Amino acid sequence: MTEVSYHRYYCLLAFSDTGTVDYDTTMQTRHLFRLAAMTEVPISVEDWEKAQQEMEDKS
Amino acid sequence: MAPSRTEPLDFDAPQPKVAYDINVPYNSGPEEYERRIRENSEFPEYLPVWEKGLWFDDFPIFEYHDPALRADKTKPHLLTSNVKIQAVTPRMGTILTGVKLETLSQEAKDEMALLICERKFVVLREQSDFLHAGPQFQVEFMEHFGKLSRQPVTGAIKGFPQFHVIHRDGNEEEIKTFFKHKMTTTIWHHDVSHERQPPGYIMLGILACPDIGGDTVVADTAMAYQRLSPVFQDMINKLKVNHTSRHLIAHAKASKGAVRCNPIDSIHPMVRVHPVTGEKAIYYNAEFPDEVFGLKDQEAEVITRFLLDFIRMGHDFQARVHWEKNSVVMFDGRTTLRRS
């Protein structure tokens, strides 16, 4: 990465952070609730492929 | 006896300079402030409380059957003729108007689960009746999708520790202090990814919101994975990551806030496969991971920074949720990273 593009890369990082969501001292009341339903133990690619293979073998 | 916010804590860390997450309070405010907030709120029973002596042991691993796998793919019970369907982007996000959440059948809930898996998030407008149906009803509704997580530190509803309550009002001084130290208030996050079985279905109910601002940005981490080269995919497929709630709990203790459980560490794959769609998605966030297994420290630093930078800059696989009063939003926690 050249010096110029490296600098541009980090400028992009800085501004992409602040350009997406608005929350400052002008904000009015914000009140939400979250309910989160837990599901499966995260499945790795290896475990998924193994399970798929076992299913194929059975059929 | 387990520690609670009203008991002395064996912890002498200095009081944090700024909030862990400016969107969420970690303690109640002065009495006069709390009284004024209660008088002015349409939903006073949903204001955050920190009940004394509440303590949770670890969840044992449980068997899980995804409701989306039972659903009719054409979704006839959910997408009835009076429901208006609008896409947020071609690839992700669907806005439904005309659905009455409080009357959905079991079949329609299964179809909702499938729609969330397919579209990453679903926005449900005009849900005043559901939002006024009360916490018990809302808990029972969400239990259709899985066992509900309980909040380790943040404010909940009295008698319902499953509720994570986000309430901000009149905290201008806190925001000014925050910006003296930080550049942005937003955090790219997964919800409680330190759990052994982290949330796959997440509901946000909007009780009060500004007319403009405070949007949430959603990144599609399955699409982000697809954009990587096969060589890079193969490499990160093999990695595992430790997710921990240690820092969150240490912050709550240092802030003299509530703590309701011991820290949890869970090792998850860097790439997880969605059991309904079969999609592979990057499962990494800026909050809970603290160690990558399979790489040396400096390699992990570069790779994880690259992945997060790439996800947050990839506006072509992100969507923005604009909140409206009486909206409910449901997310797929397995294939999205969110910023709010």
- pLDDT tens-digit series, residues B28-87: 777 777 787 788 888 999 998 888 888 988 889 999 999 999 999 999 999 999 999 999
Half-sphere exposure of B268 (CA within 13 A, CB side): 30
Decide which of B172 and B216 is more confident.
B216
What residues in A contact B201, CB-CB < 8 Å?
Answer: 36-37, 39
Q: Do A43 and B272 touch (CB under 8 A)?
A: yes
Name the CA dihedral angle for B47, B53, B59, B64, rounded to a multiple of 10 degrees.
-30
Looking at residue A46, its pLDDT comes to 97
B149 touches A at CB < 8 Å: yes
Q: Would the pLDDT of B22 be above 80?
A: no
- In this prediction the ipTM stands at 0.89
- pTM for this predicted structure: 0.86
What integer pLDDT is reported at residue B58 of this predicted model? Answer: 84
- Euclidean distance between CA atoms B10 and B24, whole angstroms: 24
Of B23-32, B76-85, B177-186, give the lowest mean pLDDT range.
Answer: B23-32
User: Looking at CA atoms only, how far is residue B205 from chain A in angstroms?
Assistant: 5
Looking at residue B170, its amino acid is: G
Structural contact between residues B166 and B24, judged by C-beta atoms closer than 8 angstroms: yes
A1 touches B at CB < 8 Å: no
pLDDT of B25 reads 66
Please calculate the CA angle B55-B61-B66 and round it to the nearest 5 degrees.
115
pLDDT at B210 over 60: yes
Q: Does B199 touch chain A (CB under 8 A)?
A: yes
The predicted structure's pLDDT at residue B154:
81
Question: Mean pLDDT across chain B, nearest whole number?
Answer: 89
Return d(Cα B98, Cα B219) in angstroms, integer: 26
pLDDT in tens, B267-318: 999 999 999 999 999 999 988 999 999 999 999 999 999 999 999 899 999 9
What string of DSSP letters covers B242-271? EEE-HHHHHHHHHTT----S---EEEEESE
CB contact under 8 A, A21 and B214: yes
